[in-house]
Amino acid sequence: MRWTGGSALYGTVRIGRVAGVPVGVHWSWAVVFGLFVWSLARGVFPATNPGLDGAEYAVMAVVATTLFFGSLLLHELGHAIVARREGVRIDGITLWLFGGVARLAGPLPSARAELRLALGGPAVTAVLVVLFGVFAHLTRFASAVDGVAAWLAYINVILLGFNLVPALPLDGGRVLRALLWQARGDFGWATVVAGAVGRVIGIAMIAAGFASIEYTGIFGGVWLALVGWFVFMAAGAEAVAASRTRTRDVAGRAGLEAQTRRPRSGRL
């Protein structure tokens, strides 16, 4: 996930640099980290790896959650590396409530550059799925180690699929916008259309979240609804910004054409 321009989220603490890119964590990241550890230690790992004691489940949960957020960071670094190759500076990467965001310092030069950048993060995640999956199935370590590796493969599959949903500001929404931009040559129009699709998908996610509470539990259902709300709001914001830019551009061109057609007055 990424956005163009702007500053870091308020409440972000910078923790260092990775490959020359500033990395920070928002305070909301700590909340999600704790929820993941609690869910894994109390529910997931006791079900997938029975017979271990509580301390082992707690260690598994902390390690798995840390490596998961490491996977998110690598995903965003995939975007950052492609952006550099396209000549766009990265202001930084922030880990927060809904995952990670890479902040671009400026717009991309072309639709093809947008497409390559959008696919950079998912490509990294796909590699991680293979690595964790192979490690879990082909190695013969302790049950706890295999359990963590298997969960990391599973959660990165979920991350990959979710990010490819064609809804701005997700990577799939960026892919959709790049294809529309390439087809029509109009970045603003492509953003408005992709934003509208994102809003529809966001509403569907909110509805699905509340409808699934009975089956997935209140945490899973409400979390999906919150993610849907974020997608709905972010997609709308990008579409509105693009629409305003298009309106200003059209007005500017109309004014320039009017001045060009205006007859000149002169003395006889």
Catalytic residues: 76
CA angle 37, 2, 245 (to 5 degrees): 145
Q: Hey, how many other C-beta atoms are within 10 angstroms of the C-beta on 224?
A: 20
- Check if the beta carbon of residue 156 is closer than 8 Å to that of residue 71: yes
Indicate the residue type of 216: T
Torsion angle, alpha carbons of 244, 246, 251, 256, to 10: 140
17 φ/ψ sector (left φ>0, alpha ψ -120 to 50, else beta): beta
| Tokens, residue 58 | 């707690």
For 138, counting Cβ atoms within 10 Å of its Cβ (0-12 exposed, 13-18 middle, 19+ buried), the class is exposed
CA angle 215, 219, 220 (to 5 degrees): 55
